Amino acid sequence: MKVLKFGGTSVGSAQRIKNLASLIGDGEQKIVVLSAMSGTTNSLVEIVSCLYGKQTGKAGQLIEELEEKYKKVVEELFVLPDFKQIGLEIIKEHFGTIWNVATSEFSANQEKTVLAQGELMSSAFLHHYLQEQNIPSVLLPALSFMRIDKDGEPDDFYIKENLLRQTESCSEMPLFITQGFICRTSKGEISNLGRGGSDYSASIIAVAAEAGEIQIWTDIDGMHNNDPRYVDNTQAIAYLSFDEAAELAYFGAKILHPLSIRPAKLADIPVRLKNTMTPDAEGTLISRRKDGKGIKAIAAKDEITVVKIKSDRMLMAYGFMRKVFEVFETYETPIDMVATSEVAVSISLDNTSHIDEIVRDLNQYGMVEVDCHLSIICIVGDFISGRGGIAAQIFQSLSNIPIRMISYGGSDHNVSVLVKQDDKKAALMALNGLFTDVQVNL
Q: pLDDT band at 411, cuts 50/70/90?
A: confident
Note the residue count of the chain: 442
- Total Cβ atoms within 10 A of residue 254: 13
Q: Are 398 and 433 in contact (CB under 8 A)?
A: no
Phi, psi of 216 (to 5 degrees): -110, 110
**Residue 237 resides in a domain:** no
Q: Check whether residue 424 and residue 305 sit in a common domain.
A: yes
Q: Angle at Cα 222 formed by Cα 375 and Cα 418, nearest 5°?
A: 10
* Residue 285, strand partner residues: 239, 272
Q: pLDDT band at 387, cuts 50/70/90?
A: low
Nearest C-alpha neighbor of 102 from the set 67, 59, 69: 59
What is the domain count for the chain? 2
Choose one of 188, 219, 250: the last residue of a domain. 219
Q: Are 135 and 46 in contact (CB under 8 A)?
A: no
pLDDT at 439 over 50: no
| Angstrom distance (rounded) from CA 418 to CA 337 | 9
**Residue 87 resides in a domain:** yes
Average pLDDT estimate for 341-368:
93
Q: Check whether residue 200 and residue 103 sit in a common domain.
A: yes
**Residue 263 resides in a domain:** no
Choose one of 186, 219, 252: the last residue of a domain. 219
* DSSP-derived 3-state class of residue 285: strand
Tell me: the pLDDT tens digits for 215-224? 999 988 899 9
Q: Check whether residue 156 and residue 304 sit in a common domain.
A: no
Q: pLDDT band at 438, cuts 50/70/90?
A: very low
**pLDDT at res. 319:** 81
Tell me: the pLDDT tens digits for 31-73? 999 999 999 999 999 999 999 999 999 999 999 999 999 999 9
Give the domain extent around 366: 296-437
| Angstrom distance (rounded) from CA 403 to CA 395 | 9
Q: Are 373 and 303 in contact (CB under 8 A)?
A: yes
Choose one of 219, 238, 254: the last residue of a domain. 219
Q: pLDDT band at 120, cuts 50/70/90?
A: very high
| Angstrom distance (rounded) from CA 300 to CA 254 | 10
Tell me: the pLDDT tens digits for 87-115? 999 999 999 999 999 999 888 889 999 99
Tell me: the pLDDT tens digits for 252-300? 777 888 899 999 999 999 999 999 999 999 899 999 987 666 788 999 9
| Angstrom distance (rounded) from CA 147 to CA 218 | 25
Q: What is the domain-level CATH number for residue 103?
A: 3.40.1160.10
Q: Check whether residue 100 and residue 201 sit in a common domain.
A: yes
Residue 147 DSSP code: B
Calculate the CA 188 to chain-centre distance: 24
Nearest C-alpha neighbor of 301 from the set 401, 205, 427, 211: 427
| Angstrom distance (rounded) from CA 412 to CA 232 | 28
Average pLDDT estimate for 135-140:
96
